Amino acid sequence: MSELLTFDTDFIDQAVPLAAGQPLHVLRRERPKIVAATQASQQAMFGDAVSGLTRRERLAVALHVSRLGQATRLAGLYEQVLLADGAEPGWVETLAHTAEPRLRTLLHFATTLTLRPIEGDRQAIETLQAAGLTPATTVALAQLVAYLSYQLRLVAGLQALAAAGPASELRSEPPQALNTPQTVTAQPAQAPALRINGFTTATLGWAPWVPPVEIDQASPEQLAAIDAMSSTARQSTYFRLLAHQPALLLQRSIAFNAIMFAPGGLSRAERELGATVESRLNGCVYCTAVHAQRFEQLSKRNDVLRQLFEQPEGAGTTPRERALVAFSAQLGLQPETLGAADVHALRATGLDDREVLDLIHAVALFAWANRLMLNLGEAVWPREALA
């Protein structure tokens, strides 16, 4: 079997495509942990570590999601793998109209999760349960579709960067003057939480619709995957839920920490802003609250958050910030339309290509995170936030 068919060759490079020695191939390797975790996620998603879904079912979901996202090259790669694995050409061609009841259920869930994640609800989970999916299988399916949503946006962003052509020499750090509006006065440290249009900067809880793993019953592999996220992750029902598929959680945790906390490149605050834009537009109240709060802590202001909560279109307090918000929104909602002009708009406000790549990673990551939060559980508002 060829390297492509076993996913041993970097799948994102194949999908863009990128060849060794190209400037963008080199740029990707400046974030080696992200490259490695993304490829390891790809291998885990379609390897033996995932329980409950057959390889053909997973590949069928991947092809379906790629077609929904109008990601022609990704769809072509997954189609090649399915055919090489023995699927009939006619079966692949008519996949969206399959007569197989279980597969039809999986693809229906994948469609909602891909196109309308805000419509994910407890009933959708109950439908999966009625079709015989266990908690571990449900988590595997949700992780797969959410990861594919990340993959679609990462590939689209890299393709836009490739189309934009070479940029000027990369800076090691963005100038501070470009990151913080000079006319904005920092808000008081104890500014009241924003509550606008159902979104907030208050601290929220989250309740799962699928039973999480109990710590005293967790395997060493599950505990290691939980602990890779943070020292407090064992107290989180979210991470204990994702631990039903520890191989997938482990690589997601590595990717998350590398994307949000890697030194240099885009500022931490701007990565949090990109995450907040994606979460706000997807309607993920919990993720919006967490990452808006982190932006507020890092930047010592919430003016742009108020704008985002009120009306995302046009939000931003400087040309750079408005360009960042607009790019994040387009990549999040319409990745298939992203192109060179969108990269040029970011460059025109001072972002170098390392910063653009960091923004692509942050937005794509929250396409992944939002779909898990929205479709496996719900935000819980504290009593004081509802007052």
Which pLDDT score is estimated for 172? 42
**Which residues are CB-contacts of 31 (< 8 A; sequence separation ≥ 6)?**
258, 259, 262, 265, 357, 358, 361
Tell me the pLDDT of the chain averaged across its residues. Answer: 92
Q: What is the separation of C-alpha 344 from the centre of its chain, rounded to a whole number of angstroms?
A: 23
Q: Which residues contact 383 (CB under 8 A, 6 or more apart)?
A: none
Q: Of residues 292 and 385, which shows the higher confidence score?
A: 292
Residues 6 or more apart from 316 whose CB is under 8 A from it? 304, 307, 322, 323, 324, 325, 326
Banded model confidence at residue 187, pLDDT cuts 50, 70, 90: low
* Mean pLDDT of the region 288-294: 98
pLDDT of residue 6: 56
- Above 70 in pLDDT, residue 2? no
The secondary structure of 308-321 as a DSSP string is: HHH--TT--SSHHH
* % of the chain surpassing 70 pLDDT: 91
In contact, 46 and 148? CB cutoff 8 Å: no
Q: How far apart are CA 132 and CA 138, in angstroms?
A: 10
297, 340, 295, 246: which is closest to 44 by C-alpha? 246
Q: CA-to-CA distance for 141 and 61, rounded, in angstroms?
A: 9
pLDDT value of residue 382: 83
pLDDT of residue 169: 54
**Residue 180: what pLDDT?**
42
Look at residue 8 in the predicted model and tell me its pLDDT: 85
Residue 166: pLDDT band with limits 50, 70, 90: confident
DSSP 8-state class, residue 95:
G
158 with 24: CB under 8 angstroms? yes
Distance, in Å, from the CA atom of 203 to the CA atom of 111, rounded to the nearest integer, reads: 31
Banded model confidence at residue 51, pLDDT cuts 50, 70, 90? confident
**pLDDT for res 384:** 54
Question: Considering the chain, what percentage of its residues have pLDDT values greater than 90?
Answer: 89
pLDDT in tens, 96-138: 999 999 999 999 999 999 999 999 999 999 999 999 999 999 9
pLDDT of residue 190: 64
What residue ranges of the chain are covered by domains with CATH 1.20.1290.10? 8-164, 188-386
CATH architecture of 8-164: Up-down Bundle (1.20)
377 phi and psi, to 5 degrees?
Answer: 180, -165
Average pLDDT, stretch 327-345?
98
pLDDT digits (tens, 9 = 90+) for 253-277: 999 999 999 999 999 999 999 999 9
3-state DSSP assignment of residue 12: helix
Span 188-386: which CATH code? 1.20.1290.10
